[in-house]
């Protein structure tokens, strides 16, 4: 895909949102500079469990559209062996007393084959569940690969901590893309962005192959996402908390409830416990803004816990908005 006019686009942010925007803009024929305050391994995206599953993001219609685009692209990545991307068999659990919906949720339209779980697929004490397969992205593997793709395609990199978006004007952009994650709101004075703290535990994988989640566990959200050498166990969605220090009590609670849903994890070796801040907002902001700087700004932030689920779909909208800039 190419556009009628090539722009110099400065993308602020090098997490999954920033890099997907940069990659899509490069493919569309634009000149791209990526500005980031942090090394790759320090981004929230690097910590993410990164399983395709809409979580804490809106508006619903747009999330469904972005999610379908992203699902299809990640499924193609998995099929062609892109590093860190696999299709993972998954199970959503319904515990006693939790009503199984009569209709499948909206995200099921992107997934395709969602079926009731068989009795022999359910852990002890669970009467019902849904089975399906979705993309899982091992971010410590995939994010460096995506970063390398962006650099190989010609993007320039600038390491700089910004006080505001006007700090990039010396780079002489035609358009600025604000994909700065948790910092995006502060850079433009949008106080509707709030932190959504997520704590996870990483354990050595004892041979688990199925992703499992119970959104209604009495101890809190419980999910298990197996990767090549480890499992990501979670987790929390703590709106308004700025703490990035792992809570030992929460670590113990996560281990306990994840062993409830995947008994094979009982006694698994703990590798680390980490906490990160997801950029929450009532709705993802994807829009062009001509009021902030002498050049247009295209916003792409507020993805909550759904960055890997909607990222590529959002990036396509960003490319379209950049393409609307007149010469």
Q: What percent of the chain has pLDDT over 90?
A: 87
Encode pLDDT of 262-308 as tens digits. Answer: 999 999 999 999 999 999 999 999 999 999 999 999 999 999 989 99
146/213 Cα distance (integer angstroms): 28
Calculate the CA dihedral of residues 284, 286, 289, 293 and round it to 10 degrees. Answer: 80
Domains (range + CATH), the chain: 8-88+136-193+283-323 (3.40.50.720)
Beta strands in the chain (DSSP E): 8-12, 31-36, 85-94, 115-116, 128-137, 156-159, 175-178, 194-204, 211-214, 222-226, 230-234, 238-239, 270-280, 285-289, 297-301
- 40's CB contacts (< 8 A; 6+ apart) are 14, 46, 143, 144, 147
Note the pLDDT tens digit of each residue in 119-153: 999 999 999 999 999 999 999 999 999 999 999 99
Residue 56 confidence (pLDDT): 67
Residues 97-114 pLDDT 10s: 999 999 998 889 999 899
Q: Is the Cα torsion angle 39, 41, 43, 45 positive or negative in sign? A: positive
At 213, the pLDDT band (50, 70, 90 cuts) reads: very high
User: Angle 139-152/16-27 helices, nearest 10 degrees?
Assistant: 30
What one-character DSSP code corresponds to residue 171?
A: G
As a whole number, the mean pLDDT across the chain is 93
Q: What is the pLDDT of residues 35-82, one digit of tens each?
A: 998 765 455 555 667 899 987 678 989 999 999 999 999 999 999 999
State how far the alpha carbon of 184 is from the alpha carbons of 36, 189, 278, in Å. Answer: 12, 9, 12
């Amino acid at each position: 895909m190419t556009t009628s006019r090539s722009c110099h686009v400065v993308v602020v942010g090098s997490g999954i949102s920033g890099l997907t925007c940069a990659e899509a803009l490069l493919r569309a024929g634009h000149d791209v500079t990526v500005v980031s305050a942090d090394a790759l391994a320090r981004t929230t995206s690097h910590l993410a469990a990164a399983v395709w599953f809409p979580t804490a993001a809106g508006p619903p219609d747009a999330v469904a559209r972005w999610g379908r685009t992203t699902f299809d692209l990640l499924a193609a990545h998995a099929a062609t062996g892109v590093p860190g991307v696999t299709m993972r068999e998954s199970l959503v659990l319904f515990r006693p007393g939790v009503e199984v919906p009569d209709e499948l949720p909206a995200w099921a339209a992107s997934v395709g084959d969602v079926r009731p779980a068989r009795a022999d697929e359910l852990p002890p004490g669970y009467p019902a569940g849904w089975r399906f397969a979705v993309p899982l992205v091992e971010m410590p593997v995939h994010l460096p690969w995506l970063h390398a793709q962006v650099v190989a395609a010609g993007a320039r990199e600038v390491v700089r901590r910004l006080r505001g978006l006007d700090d990039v004007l010396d780079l002489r952009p035609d358009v600025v893309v604000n994909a700065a994650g948790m910092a995006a709101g502060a850079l433009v004075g949008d106080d509707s962005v709030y932190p959504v703290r997520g704590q996870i535990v990483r354990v050595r994988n004892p041979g688990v192959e199925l992703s499992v989640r119970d959104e209604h566990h009495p101890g809190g959200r419980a999910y298990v996402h197996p990767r090549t050498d480890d499992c990501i166990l979670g987790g929390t969605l703590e709106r308004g908390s700025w703490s990035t220090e792992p809570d030992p009590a929460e670590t113990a609670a996560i281990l306990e409830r994840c062993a409830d849903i995947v008994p094979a994890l009982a006694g698994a070796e703990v590798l680390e416990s980490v906490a990160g801040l997801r950029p929450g907002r009532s709705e993802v902001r994807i829009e062009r803004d001509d009021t902030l700087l002498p050049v247009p700004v295209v916003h792409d932030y507020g993805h909550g816990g759904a960055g890997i689920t909607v990222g590529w779909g959002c990036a396509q909208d960003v490319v379209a908005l950049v393409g609307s800039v007149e010469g």
